[in-house]
């Protein structure tokens, strides 16, 4: 509908410094003639749009023009409030609390019904185990990034190796319920992503740095060629007692449930330390059906555990004078 396009065009102009007729035409899938007619309609409606000619020309709104709350429906404002409150739970910043109050004010009489009047959705980005220590780290790193101050960490990498790093924080990232820091690492001489839970020690140095342009977060998307280990086609059979945990842990497409409550999980897995540790955590509630080499490796690791405890028991008995 034309009215929807006009509203969307106005919001786009609010969010963009300048945009050409060709860009608007492509975005809304109309001709440039239609764009010019729409711009004329908006101008007649009192929207202060300025037109610029030339290579870098286009349309933009006059400075200080803002959107009124009448252009947002109560439902849209409520959705905005919910999102802001979710950000507040993750950041613990008073700025978000104040922003929540301002958005709440936009609701007017529609916002007096409490949480029950909301959209039935709550955004809480924190993991269950996010205590005061993690909040302190988040605030310290956020402040260091904002003030361009270096920090020093004792870090445990994904291979279990420890090192001391001096970092220049660029951005905090919350992904999959886990906090990460994008920072320039002086040890490696490049930008890296660091997991906050692996920072065994963290301290401010008070040393300022000149911010460097950081690569976009999208450039860190996982690429299969990063891991050259060959995945194996594995079939696992879980007993009914761990059904709920299995459903929580594995993708639905991998699951096949049986009438007795047991669950089979199949698919490609990289048989690494994490994989075998995960299987061992299920104890006798899981059986590897295939391939044989995975079952044999799991048996070998289980025997090592038994032998370690048997040696400890024998040593304790000997110390107590028992034969």
Do 198 and 238 lie in one domain? The reply is no
- CATH number of the domain residue 35 falls in: 1.10.10.10
Question: Considering the domain boundaries, does residue 323 fall inside one?
Answer: no
Q: Is residue 68 classed as helix, strand or coil in its secondary structure?
A: coil
Residue 127 lies in a domain: no
149 compared with 85, residue with greater pLDDT: 149
CA distance readout (Å), 58 to 8, 32, 49: 17, 12, 10
pLDDT (0 to 100) of residue 116:
41
Please state, in angstroms and rounded to a whole number, the distance separating the CA atoms of residues 121 and 24.
Answer: 33
Q: Comparing C-alpha atoms, which of 262, 267, 268 is closest to residue 282? A: 262
Are both 61 and 81 inside the same structural domain? no
243, 267: one domain = yes
Q: How many Å is the Cα radius of gyration of the chain? A: 29
Report the pLDDT value the prediction gives residue 126, as an integer from 0 to 100. 64
Cα separation, 114 vs 78, in Å, equals 11
DSSP secondary structure, 16-64, as one string: -S-B-HHHHHHHHT--HHHHHHHHHHHHHTT--EEEE-STT-EEEEPTT
According to DSSP, the residues that pair with 202 across neighbouring strands are 153
Last-in-domain residue among 55, 82, 117: 117
Domain count, the chain: 4
The reply to whether 124 falls in a domain is no
Give the domain CATH number at 142. Answer: 2.30.30
Is 50 a domain residue? yes
Report pLDDT for 90.
61
- Give the distance from CA 151 to its chain's centroid: 23
Is the domain of 251 the same as that of 180? no
Whether 227 maps to a domain, the answer reads no
Q: 112 φ, ψ to 5°?
A: -95, 5
Q: Are 9 and 42 within 8 A, CB to CB?
A: yes
Q: How confident is the model at residue 228 (pLDDT cuts 50, 70, 90)?
A: low
The residue from 220, 245, 260 where one domain ends is 220
DSSP state of 293: H
Contact 166, 146 (CB under 8 A): no
Name the domain boundary from 190, 220, 250: 220
Same domain, 137 and 215: yes
CA dihedral 53, 57, 59, 62 (to 10 degrees): -80
Establish if 320 belongs to a structural domain: no
Whether 212 and 282 map to the same domain: the answer is: no
Distances from the Cα of 275 to the Cαs of 231, 294, 297, 299, in angstroms? Answer: 11, 10, 11, 14
Q: Find the domain containing 154 and state its range.
A: 132-220
Q: Please give the pLDDT value at position 112.
A: 44
Which residue's structure tokens are 């079939």?
Answer: 235
Tell me what pLDDT residue 272 has.
Answer: 85
- Residue 100, pLDDT above cutoff 90: no
> Coil, helix or strand for 209?
coil
CA–CA distance, 297 with 127 (Å, rounded to integer): 33
Least confident range from 105-114, 138-147, 302-311: namely: 105-114
261 lies in some domain: yes
Contacts of 31 (CB under 8 A, 6+ apart): 25
Confidence bin at 136 (pLDDT 50/70/90) = confident
Residues 214, 136 share a domain: yes
Query: What confidence category does residue 109 fall into, taking pLDDT thresholds of 50, 70 and 90?
Result: very low
Q: Is 317 a member of any domain? A: no
What does the DSSP 8-state code read for residue 159? Answer: T
If asked whether residues 61 and 74 sit together in one domain, one would say no
For the stretch 29-70, pLDDT in tens is 889 899 899 889 888 888 888 888 887 888 888 877 666 655
Region label for 261, one of left (φ > 0), alpha (ψ between -120 and 50) or beta (otherwise): left
Rounded Cα distance between 100 and 80, Å, is 9
> Quick one: 14 and 53 in the same domain?
yes
| pLDDT score recorded for residue 3 | 75
Read off the pLDDT of residues 169-190 as tens digits, 9 standing for 90 and up: 999 888 777 789 999 999 999 9
Angle among Cα 135, 136, 140 to the nearest 5 degrees reads: 120
């Amino acid at each position: 509908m034309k009215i929807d396009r006009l509203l969307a065009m106005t919001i786009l102009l609010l969010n963009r410094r300048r945009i050409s007729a060709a860009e608007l035409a492509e975005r809304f899938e109309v001709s440039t003639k239609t764009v010019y007619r729409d711009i004329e309609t908006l101008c007649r409606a009192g929207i202060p749009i300025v037109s610029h000619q030339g290579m870098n020309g286009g349309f933009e709104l006059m400075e200080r023009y803002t959107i009124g709350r009448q252009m947002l429906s109560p439902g849209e404002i409520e959705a905005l409030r919910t999102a802001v409150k979710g950000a507040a739970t993750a950041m613990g910043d008073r700025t978000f609390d104040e922003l929540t109050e301002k958005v709440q004010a936009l609701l007017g009489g529609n916002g007096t019904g409490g949480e029950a009047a909301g959209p039935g959705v709550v955004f809480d980005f924190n993991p269950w185990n996010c205590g005061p220590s993690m909040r302190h780290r988040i605030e310290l790193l956020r402040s260091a990034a904002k003030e361009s101050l270096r920090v020093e960490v004792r870090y445990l990498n994904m291979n279990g190796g420890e090192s001391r790093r001096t970092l220049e924080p660029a951005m905090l990232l919350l992904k999959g319920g886990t906090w990460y820091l994008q920072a320039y690492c002086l040890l490696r001489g490049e930008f890296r992503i660091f997991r906050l839970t692996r920072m065994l020690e963290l301290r401010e140095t008070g040393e300022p740095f000149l911010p460097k342009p950081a690569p976009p977060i999208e450039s860190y998307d996982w690429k299969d060629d990063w891991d050259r280990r060959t995945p194996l086609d594995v079939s696992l059979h879980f007993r009914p007692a761990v059904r709920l945990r299995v459903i929580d842990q594995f993708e639905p497409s991998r699951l096949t449930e049986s009438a007795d409550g047991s669950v089979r999980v199949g698919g490609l897995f990289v048989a690494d330390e994490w994989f075998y540790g995960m299987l061992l955590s299920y104890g006798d509630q899981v059986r590897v059906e295939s391939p044989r080499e995975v079952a044999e490796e799991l048996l070998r690791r289980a025997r090592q555990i038994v032998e370690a405890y048997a040696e400890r028991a024998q040593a304790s008995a000997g110390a107590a004078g028992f034969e």
